[in-house]
Structure 1
Amino acid sequence: MSQADEDPTFFDRERDRLSREITSGFEELLSSTNVLNRKLEEVLGMTKEYETIAALWQSFYQLMRGPTEDEVDEEQPPGLPGTGGHVVSMKQSKNS
């Protein structure tokens, strides 16, 4: 075997260098994708924890907002329970 047969050609060296660079790039991409996946799982887990709290705040908001004109019922007296403005019954007895 001669010296020329053992030495890699420019093409072989360049191919090996590019293969190493591509392999390194894929390893970086895989690592970044794994980090992103973990972060997304954390975010999804947090949103599930906050569903109950969000529902509570939504009901509080609707209570404080009060009924809109479409939601007002003729038979429903104005006022919120626990505020002193809530009337339990609008019917009057016949004796009065």
Structure 2
Amino acid sequence: MSHGDDDSFFDRERDKLSAEITAGFEELLSSSNVLNRKLEEVLGMTREYETIAALWSSFHELMRGQRAGDVSEDKGPGLPGTGGHTVSSKP
């Protein structure tokens, strides 16, 4: 083998390894993009659950307040649809 054959073998091996490394990085990038999308989905669901939990908490507090007779004049007239709203019929 001559010196030129060694260079071509080296060049072929270098190109082969470079292609493997490039493919590995592309796979890593693809996998990290998938992971990022999944994490965003999970965080989005968490925010949705927090909103729903806050809504149910408000409903629970409202119902607990009505059961205890907590809807009174000192808290104001109340909200329509909650049972604490009173319509005045003054002439």
TM-score when normalising by structure 1? 0.51
Between structure 1 and structure 2, the one with the greater Rg is 1
Residue of structure 1 equivalent to 2:39: 40
3-state SS in 1 of match to 2:49: helix
Runs of 4+ in 1 over 6 A off after TM superposition: none
TM-score when normalising by structure 2? 0.53
State the shift of 1:6 in Å: 7.0
Gaps of 5+ in 2: 73-91
For 2:25 and 2:57, locate their aligned partners in 1 and report how far apart those are by CA, in whole Å.
Answer: 45
Q: Deviations over 1:6-47 (max 9, x none)?
A: 7812x2222111101000000000000111111111111111
For 1:40 and 1:19, locate their aligned partners in 2 and report how far apart those are by CA, in whole Å.
Answer: 31
Question: Percent of counterpart pairs with the same letter?
Answer: 67
Q: Deviations over 1:35-64 (max 9, x none)?
A: 11111111111111111222245564xx6x
Q: Work out the number of aligned pairs and report it.
A: 67
Matched, 1:25 2:18: no
